[in-house]
Amino acid sequence: MSLTSVIIPTHNRPHLLSRAVESARAAGTNLEVIVVDDASTDETANVCATLRGIKYVRVERNQRVAGARNVGLLVSSGEFVSFLDDDDLRLPNSLDEQVKLLEADKQAGLIYGQAILGDQAGQPTNHVYPLVCPHGDAFWDLLGQNFIPCGSAVFRRSCLNRVGLLDSDLPGIDDWDLWIRIAELYPIIALAKPVMIWRRSTPVSEQGTSQAADIVSQGVRQFRHWWLKLPRATKAPAKMRRLAWQRFSANMSAHLIWEAIRSLRLGDVRQATKNIFSLTHLGPLVMVRLVRRRSILQLLRKTVGQARRTSASYSDSISRPSAS
């Protein structure tokens, strides 16, 4: 079986890193595991010195995730490549199974699988994503939604000769952007079974995917200024491009509303408000549809009510006499 490079970027999370590395090693038989220390300021380097069989690379200036992944790509040598975040886990033998399928289909550029959603402790839940796994010509599907969990994907290194490296100016959606560029040129294989445990972010976990408003803002700019200007999109009928935008904006608005609700449940009114106002990036038609469904009005009322309760609670606490 051909060599596969597993690239694990890490920054100040040594308590999670060892589990990720060991899970990668258990996922395949012919691997190189590359840990890119993205300018950590803690004991990450010492922890990496204890990990057997890894290629350790350190950068002194923080590159963020996409930049660190690119560093790993440049020092890796595998015919196939997979990314793994330091807080996620690969399932045993999953890489071998995916590589075997990709080797058998010489036309395909990438294979992905499902992810079991994990809690903040990394423990698996009963939820799996995605439930539906598009395959084959997945370009237009990917324009509407990123259904490929980053750590579940394995792609051919040769794809990079045509599509280039990750865009380090796209924090949070750099992987989505790469999948779209690959899917424009190559068929995609879907393995409809879990291959990883994906540590799910929360509005307060400070993971990259916690910043829903920023991710949507980045996605809107990329969709309008780059994705729709890819040759495959420019040659398509205008109706197809409009349908792609409608699917994209519907998925992004649903994501923002869900994240706003999650923020409210945690009492984070600021984050909820930021997510709500980010809906305006998706255009007036999206706002009209949401108003008609009354979903946005209900969410606004909840946000305002939570803000008032928070403000009243704070005012009461500073005006209450001390017990001393």
Residue 319 has pLDDT above 60, yes or no: no
Clarify whether residues 145 and 182 are in a common domain: yes
Give the Cα separation of 76 and 55 in Å (integer): 9
Number of H helices, E strands in the chain: 13, 9
Clarify whether residues 176 and 280 are in a common domain: no
At which of 168, 200, 232 does a domain end?
A: 200
Amino acid type, 122? G
What pLDDT, on the 0 to 100 scale, is given for residue 255? Answer: 86
* Nearest partner of 198 among 231, 149, 241, judged by Cα: 149
Considering the chain, what is the average pLDDT of its residues?
87
pLDDT tier at 312 (50, 70, 90 boundaries)? Answer: very low
* Nearest partner of 130 among 144, 142, 150, 113, judged by Cα: 113
Clarify whether residues 244 and 176 are in a common domain: no
Tell me the average pLDDT across 47-69: 95
* Per-residue model confidence as pLDDT tens digits over 217-270: 999 999 999 999 999 999 999 999 999 999 999 889 888 888 888 888 887 888
What pLDDT, on the 0 to 100 scale, is given for residue 320? Answer: 42
At which of 171, 200, 229 does a domain end?
A: 200
Residue 313 has pLDDT above 60, yes or no: no
Tell me the average pLDDT across 133-149: 97
Is residue 322, in this structure, part of any structural domain at all?
no
Residue 297 has pLDDT above 80, yes or no: no
Residue with the larger pLDDT of the pair 140 and 253: 140
Residue with the larger pLDDT of the pair 262 and 55: 55
Supply the CATH number for residue 77's domain. 3.90.550.10
Clarify whether residues 309 and 255 are in a common domain: yes
Is residue 244, in this structure, part of any structural domain at all?
yes
Is residue 240, in this structure, part of any structural domain at all?
yes
Give the Cα separation of 113 and 124 in Å (integer): 16
Residue 300 has pLDDT above 70, yes or no: no
Amino acid type, 173? I
pLDDT tier at 322 (50, 70, 90 boundaries)? Answer: very low
* Per-residue model confidence as pLDDT tens digits over 153-205: 999 999 999 999 999 999 889 999 999 999 999 999 999 999 999 988 665 55
* Per-residue model confidence as pLDDT tens digits over 75-118: 999 999 999 999 999 999 999 999 999 999 999 999 999 999 99
What pLDDT, on the 0 to 100 scale, is given for residue 200? Answer: 82
* Per-residue model confidence as pLDDT tens digits over 112-127: 999 999 988 778 899 9
Residue 57 has pLDDT above 80, yes or no: yes
Non-local (6+) Cβ contacts of 95 within 8 A are 4, 6, 24, 27, 28, 31, 82, 154, 195
Structure tokens at 118: 């994990």
The rounded percent of the chain whose pLDDT value lies above 90 is: 67
Strand extents, DSSP E, 175-312: 188-199
Clarify whether residues 185 and 37 are in a common domain: yes
Clarify whether residues 170 and 39 are in a common domain: yes
Domain count for the chain, please give it.
Answer: 2
Structure tokens at 171: 């924090």
* Nearest partner of 36 among 15, 61, 19, judged by Cα: 61
pLDDT tier at 310 (50, 70, 90 boundaries)? Answer: very low
At which of 180, 200, 220 does a domain end?
A: 200
Give the Cα separation of 146 and 259 in Å (integer): 16
What pLDDT, on the 0 to 100 scale, is given for residue 321? Answer: 41
Question: Which domain, by its residues, includes 214?
Answer: 209-316
pLDDT tier at 303 (50, 70, 90 boundaries)? Answer: low
* Nearest partner of 109 among 162, 171, 60, judged by Cα: 162
